Structure 1
Amino acid sequence: MALSGKLIGYIKISKKGDVFHDLFRHNPNEIAVISPDKIHACELVDGDRGTVGSLVHWHYSHEGKKKIDKAVIEAVNEENHMIVFNVVGGDLVDDKFKTMKVILHTEKKGDAQVITLTLEFEKLDTSVPYPTSFMDWFCHMLKDIDAHGKTE
């Protein structure tokens, strides 16, 4: 079993990519309003909100437990609506993973707008399962965001 890996999820969305990008980059606390069962808060700890090098603490619930993770914005690409979070501490990396990056970007695929979620990780040891439940959780949160504000 490999210690490092990558999981990629694709979610077809109805909103434009800049909506997701702006939310995660500049207004992540709004996600707590949109998906309160998953995200409780996102605190800026160091730097300027949305800039490369800024440190944020994500407060969330996953697998029935409240958790906190520290993440640094490692890269931003406005053209591709991409943001890369490097998880540098907290429940996710302290317990299971040596490294974890969360990469979000949006693109047009045919007539559809798609958000791509990539998890790049290195497990602490072979007994640690792949982060598929975290991927599922994150994909559901992205679907919550896409559904927010729709009147059907």
Structure 2
Amino acid sequence: MAQTGTLTKQITIKSDGDVFHEIFRYRPHHIADMSPEYIKGVDLHDGHEWGTVGSIITWNYFHDGKPKEAKEKIEAIDEAKKSVCFKVIGGDILEAYKNFMITVHVDTHGEENVVTWTFHYEKLNESVPDPNSLMDFVLSVTKDIETHHLK
């Protein structure tokens, strides 16, 4: 069984793709208001401002019936591709994974926008499951953000 892997899922949203990208880049702290069932709080842990490479963000969230935390560093931002890449540097995810990268990317096509989530990961050992539950979690948050903007 492979210790490293990549998991990618796409979801079509009806809300504005540019706004979706802007939320993950500049306003992730607003996601707690858009998805309160899953996201309990997002704080800028280190860095001068939101949305800059090198900034460290702490996420407090509720996943698999438990409160959890993730500390992520913004590794890369590509405005042309509307993508943000986060490297997990602390928290619950690293109890099962040695390395974990999350990329969220938005393709905008008029009124139809496709959000692509990609996880690149290395398991601590072969008994660790693939992060399918975490992928379902981010897809649920994506739907909540869409619902919030369609109101």
- TM bucket normalised to smaller: over 0.9
Tell whether the 8 Å contact from 2:12 to 2:114 is kept in structure 1 after alignment: yes
Superposition deviation, residue 18 in structure 1: 1.5
Q: TM (normalized to structure 2)?
A: 0.94
**Residues 105-144 of structure 1 correspond to what in structure 2 (within 5 A)?**
105-108=105-108, 112-144=112-144
Runs of 4+ in 1 over 6 A off after TM superposition: none
Which residue of structure 2 lines up, in the alignment, with residue 54 of structure 1? 55
Percent identity over the alignment is 42
Which residue of structure 1 lines up, in the alignment, with residue 66 of structure 2? 65
| Structure 1: gaps of 5 or more residues | none
Residues 83 and 59 of structure 1, relative CA distance in 2, 3 Å threshold: same
1:86-130 deviation digits (Å, cap 9, x = unpaired): 00111111x100011110011146973101000110000001000
Which residue of structure 1 lines up, in the alignment, with residue 80 of structure 2? 79
Paired positions, count: 150
SS at match of 2:50: coil
Q: TM (normalized to structure 1)?
A: 0.94
Which residue of structure 2 lines up, in the alignment, with residue 8 of structure 1? 8
Superposition deviation, residue 142 in structure 1: 0.3
* CA RMSD after TM alignment: 1.4
Separation in structure 2 between the aligned mates of residue 109 and residue 98 of structure 1, nearest angstrom: 36
| Structure 2: gaps of 5 or more residues | none
